[in-house]
Amino acid sequence: MSDSKVLVGLQDKQRFWLKLEGDVRVPWCVSLETYCEAVIQQPGIKSVCVDLLATDNLDSTTLGVLAKVAIYTSSHCDEKAILLCHDENILRLVRSMGFESVFDIRNSFAAEVLDFDELPLLACTEADMKDAVINAHKTLMDMTEDNRASFGSLVSALENEIDKG
């Protein structure tokens, strides 16, 4: 995972920042989801900003986890989560996944310079990873019919594999 990094920060003790850098893929998903849910439910957190300005690529599992973060934000915070992105390819991707329904998508955001901490990559089992992949894709499937068609067979295959194991 040397070509990717996940950074976290807190602005004014109220806005949680999640900054993804490089090519962020499946191995980050358990860490991302676990950490974000713990932070977002803390008293005083009023908003969440996901910064993709230095992101080169996201896989579908990471997209599903980010959608879950946005949905979780909607149920715990005062504002819709903000997604910062200016890369046309990533913008096209997140819009095609239906992210405009769960994120306020912007290409910039005025914020003070923050000190970010690097999120550690949690060790997890293969079963944990499969659960993360399945749940992330189910979240995407719930967002649009196109997503349901795109990811339905993947989810079914992984669930059948778990049932047999």
Per residue in 127-145, pLDDT tens? 999 999 999 999 999 999 9
- Please give the model's pTM, rounded to 2 decimal places: 0.93
Structure tokens at 94: 């997140």
Say how far apart CA 165 and CA 150 lie, in whole Å.
25
The residues facing 21 across adjacent strands are 5, 54
What does pLDDT average to over the chain?
92
> Would the pLDDT of 36 be above 90?
yes
> Would the pLDDT of 2 be above 60?
no
Say how far apart CA 11 and CA 153 lie, in whole Å.
41
> Would the pLDDT of 165 be above 70?
no
Write the burial class of residue 113 (CB in 10 Å: 0-12 exposed, 13-18 middle, 19+ buried).
exposed
Provide the residue ranges of all domains of the chain, joining segments of one domain with +: 4-164
> Would the pLDDT of 100 be above 60?
yes
Task: Write down the CATH number for the domain with range 4-164.
Answer: 3.30.750.24
DSSP string, 38-56: HHHTSTT--EEEEEEEEEE
Say how far apart CA 82 and CA 78 lie, in whole Å.
12
46-68 mean pLDDT = 96
pLDDT digit string, tens, across residues 101-130: 999 999 987 767 788 999 999 899 989 999
Lowest mean pLDDT among 53-57, 74-78, 109-113, 137-141: 109-113
At a CB cut-off of 8 Å and minimum separation 6, what does 134 contact? 155, 158, 159, 162
Please give the pLDDT value at position 1. Answer: 45
At a CB cut-off of 8 Å and minimum separation 6, what does 89 contact? none
